Amino acid sequence: MTTSTITTKFHNPSWARRREWQRASHLYAETKQWLIDGWESGELVQSITSAGIENDLYAVIQSQAIREAKSEYSKDGAVQYNNSIPFGINNQNWKVDQTENGTVVIGFPCISRWWYTPIAVYDEIEDVLQQLLAGDLKKSLLQVYRRGGEWYCSFTVTHQKPLKGKTPIGVDIGERHILAAVAPTEGESLLVSGREAKYLRRKYRSLRESLQEAGALRALNRVGNKEQRRMTALNHTLSRRLVEFAVRFEDPMLRIENLDGIQERCPWPGVHSWPFGQLQRFIIYKAAVEGIAVEKVDPSYTSQRCSACGATGNRSADHFSCPNCGRGRHADLNAAENIASRKGEPCTT
């Protein structure tokens, strides 16, 4: 089992919605503060229920405020809350649905009524939302909050398929081939060229330099946003291709590199502009939806050692050769085989 956190913004909520949600945020903070102060002074009992709270919030929101306040009071004592904080609705009292035209909406009670409001469906959450709509995932507490001038919601989903994994698949991320995967026991591999990633980096670097020289700051921001969308789309495609490769095998397990500190240890210049963390999150999300376990392994020396005998070998461009056993192998596939053979820390349980 594994959980994924979904955060997205509401799409153009009406003025009435925004006004009511803002009032709910204030009332939620006031309710929690009233509870904390009452417990601290001894004027309230810990067993208080929503029936003892007199404000306009729906009872399910009042009950959630009580649960949170109890937890925070037992841990931190006399907490002081801001004027406006995220308000929560437990998993049984909010809904996610899809309209006839395909718009995904989230519905929840607040003060005057239930509100059903469209949300932005980003590439990185699309697969998870579709699984949630299909009833394949279990949702948790919904939190609604304001950030700047936008309103957002956040919740987690639990992937309920058992995650075991007896067919290891090693995954190497690199420069010449952005993705290399090997299922050693099956004799199958996947190689994805890094040409598109290189092209995107060169293209947008050139555009940014030109716009910076011209002092076109607004255009520079637009270019940055477009680059981010293109890179996100590419990561989305890469993670999907990897999972599609993995589901071909019986009870697969993905083993990926632990990317902590990759920018310091990797000699590839493009590592600083590539959203590795995002790609890893996409892989974990999509794998979990398919019931595929994922482990992070130590990547040390996976590119230098022979996957057949473990001796230190030689790499020349895409070719790896071992002076000890004489084996020749594509260098990135050799690294992926080494990753597949290592035990790691589970990303999913």
* Total number of domains in the chain: 2
Q: Is 134 exposed, middle or buried (0-12, 13-18, 19+ CB in 10 A)?
A: exposed
H or E element in which residue 172 lies: strand 167-172
Q: Which pLDDT does position 241 carry in this prediction?
A: 92
**In the listed set 159, 194, 213, which residue is the last one of a domain according to the structure?**
159
181 and 324 both lie in a single domain: yes
98 and 141 both lie in a single domain: yes
Looking only at the bridges linking them, the beta strands covering 293-297 and 137-139 are unpaired
Q: Which pLDDT does position 214 carry in this prediction?
A: 72
Residue 3 reports pLDDT greater than 80:
no
110 and 182 both lie in a single domain: no
Structure tokens at 126: 């699309």
**In the listed set 159, 187, 202, which residue is the last one of a domain according to the structure?**
159
**In the listed set 159, 185, 201, which residue is the last one of a domain according to the structure?**
159
Dist CA 84 CA 68 (whole Å): 15
For 244, the domain range is 167-346
126 and 207 both lie in a single domain: no
Query: Can you give the length of the chain in residues?
Result: 349
Residue 18 reports pLDDT greater than 80:
yes
286 and 215 both lie in a single domain: yes
Dihedral sign computed on CA atoms, order 29, 30, 31, 34 = positive
147 and 289 both lie in a single domain: no
330 and 204 both lie in a single domain: yes
pLDDT digits (tens, 9 = 90+) for 21-77: 999 999 999 999 999 999 999 999 999 999 999 999 999 999 999 999 999 999 988
DSSP class per residue in 254-310 = EEEE--TTHHHH---GGGGTS-HHHHHHHHHHHHHHTT-EEEEE--TTTTTB-TTT-
Dist CA 173 CA 280 (whole Å): 10
Looking only at the bridges linking them, the beta strands covering 137-139 and 114-118 are unpaired
pLDDT digits (tens, 9 = 90+) for 242-275: 999 999 999 999 999 887 655 554 555 555 456 6
Structure tokens at 3: 């959980």
Backbone Cα Rg of the chain: 25
The 3-state secondary structure of 206-270, one letter per residue: HHHHHHHHHCCHHHHHHHHHHHHHHHHHHHHHHHHHHHHHHCCCCCEEEEEECCCCHHHHCCCHH
If one compares 287 and 16, the residue with the highest pLDDT of the two is 16
3-state SS assignment for residue 92:
helix
Q: What is the CATH number of the domain that holds 327?
A: 3.30.420
36 and 75 both lie in a single domain: yes
Structure tokens at 8: 């997205």
150 and 173 both lie in a single domain: no
52 and 179 both lie in a single domain: no
202 and 332 both lie in a single domain: yes
Reported pTM: 0.62
Dist CA 297 CA 344 (whole Å): 4
149 and 193 both lie in a single domain: no
Q: Minimal CA–CA distance to 345: which of 259, 282, 242, 279?
A: 259
H or E element in which residue 155 lies: strand 150-159
Q: Give the CA distances from residue 335 to residues 149, 191, 274, 339, in Å, rounded to whole numbers and listed in that order.
A: 47, 12, 20, 6
- Residue type at 79 in one-letter notation: V
pLDDT digits (tens, 9 = 90+) for 119-157: 999 877 887 888 888 887 889 999 999 998 899 999 988
